[in-house]
Amino acid sequence: MAPAGEHPTNVFAYVAPASVNLIVAKAPLPRDDEQFVVTQAAPPEGSSHFKVTEVPPPATANTAAITPAAPGTATSTNVLPAGFLPAPGTDMSPEGWPRRIVCQIDGSLMAYIPPGPAKLGSNSGPANARPEATVLLDGYYINVFETTVAEYKRYREEMKAKNKNSFAAINETAGDRQPVLGIPWGVASAYAKWSGRELPTEAEYEKAARGPDGFRAPWGDSRAVWPEPRTPQTIAPVGKFVSDRSIYGVFDLAGNAREWVADWHDDSSHAEAAKSRDGVKNWAGAKKPKITSQHTVKGSIHDWDVTAREGRLMTEKFPDVGFRTVLRLGAGNAGPQGVTPPNAPNTKPATPNRGPNPPRGNSF
């Protein structure tokens, strides 16, 4: 039986190291991160021993050595905003955008998420994530990793140089690659704007995690597999658990720090998205939330299910909450025109839903 609070698909029976079993699936598997190279070990270990090596991921998890490519090195039909350059060695998406870019302000790596439909919520998940809705999103970039302590230090140093106040993270003395924690929503939003970006909407977060097929977790609908013990409460250096990587190569969307998103929190917002014309395009949360002091937090709440969500008071500094940012590419990049999500038949094309209101004054 699964332990209390743990999803059954995440539970493995313990197998003693001396009797490890090997299960071989038919190839090719649909996703690169589900494929392995299996080679028979040389004697004297014997023919029953094998070496299993995961297929290398398409993008590196090391942001420390990233150097942006020079302008013009990636052939593109589109122009990135000032302050963003193609990452070295990146290829181009069918839409003409580099698949990886670097933000010059804080040095972070970002992954391209193509335009099109996105599944939001689940019909079988937590009550406040029901029902499942389908929305249309423009293309955007999202941070490959959560904002780190080192990146946040750059922000504080610049604020200090400009004689502006800044908010200290509760883990500012932690390692550089730890996710920055204890940042109120308004401060996270201010950081995003400083770097030329914004906080992701809940729909953008889920699409980056679930991919076009709407998986319940970044790695699919299967069990979570970790190289060492990990719980939803484990907070480690970003990118440490390589299995927590979505089809777009974005890390730590199921585990590690919980993350602020832009949306006001409302337990019934998914029902609104499923029936509202505004929910058809670039859904940004409930228009009139019942509680206007809470924003939504995603990731690592009680299980690896990325549809899980909860409201947190936007002015508080939570020791388990961090954030990441997005760079939106604007209207006209939402894929084929005239596509209507299945939850909203016969609706007319919708105007983009307004984004969440900024915090009042200096309330954060």
Tokens 């197998």 correspond to: 15
One-letter amino acid at 60 equals T
> Distance between CA atoms of 193 and 190, rounded to whole angstroms?
5
Q: What is the dihedral of CA 167, 169, 172, 175, to 10 degrees?
A: -140
| Cα distances (Å, whole numbers) of residue 129 to 5, 120, 121, 166 | 17, 8, 5, 34
> Distance between CA atoms of 177 and 110, rounded to whole angstroms?
16
Model confidence pLDDT, tens digit, residues 319-332: 999 999 999 997 64
> What does the pLDDT read at residue 174?
97
Model confidence pLDDT, tens digit, residues 82-114: 999 999 999 999 999 999 999 999 999 999 999
341 pLDDT exceeds 80? no
Per DSSP, the residues of 320-356 read TEE---EEE--TT-SSSTT---TTSTTPPPPPPPPPP
Q: What is the dihedral of CA 2, 265, 202, 351, to 10 degrees?
A: 140
Q: What average pLDDT score do residues 166-193 get? A: 97
**Residue 60 buriedness (CB in 10 A; 0-12 / 13-18 / 19+):** middle
Q: 120 pairs with which residues across the strands?
A: 133
> Distance between CA atoms of 144 and 271, rounded to whole angstroms?
29
- Is 112:97 a contact under the CB 8 Å cutoff? yes
121 pLDDT exceeds 80? yes
Residue 142: phi and psi, rounded to 5, are -135, 150
72 pLDDT exceeds 70? no
One-letter amino acid at 87 equals A
Least confident piece of the model among 32-36, 221-225, 241-245, 251-255: 32-36
**Residue 95 buriedness (CB in 10 A; 0-12 / 13-18 / 19+):** middle
Model confidence pLDDT, tens digit, residues 281-304: 899 988 888 888 999 999 988 889
Q: 53 pairs with which residues across the strands?
A: 37
334 pLDDT exceeds 50? no
| Cα distances (Å, whole numbers) of residue 43 to 18, 39, 61, 113 | 18, 13, 34, 46
Which pair of tokens denotes residue 234? 């484990």
Class of the domain covering 63-328: alpha beta
| Cα distances (Å, whole numbers) of residue 292 to 48, 279, 289, 323 | 61, 20, 6, 20
Which pair of tokens denotes residue 273? 């998205």
- Is 224:216 a contact under the CB 8 Å cutoff? no
One-letter amino acid at 336 equals P
- Is 263:353 a contact under the CB 8 Å cutoff? no
Which is more confidently placed, 271 or 30? 271
Task: List the domain boundaries for the chain.
Answer: 63-328
| Cα distances (Å, whole numbers) of residue 127 to 77, 99, 194 | 43, 35, 36
| Cα distances (Å, whole numbers) of residue 230 to 221, 234, 254, 303 | 18, 6, 12, 11
> What does the pLDDT read at residue 99?
97
Q: 258 pairs with which residues across the strands?
A: 321
Residue 280's pLDDT band, with cuts at 50, 70 and 90, is: low
**Which residue, among 13, 195, 16, has the nearest Cα to 101 in the 3D structure?**
195
Specify which of 134-138, 151-155, 329-333, 354-358 reaches the highest per-range mean pLDDT: 151-155
Mean pLDDT for all residues in the chain? 78
On whether the pTM is more than 0.85, the answer is no
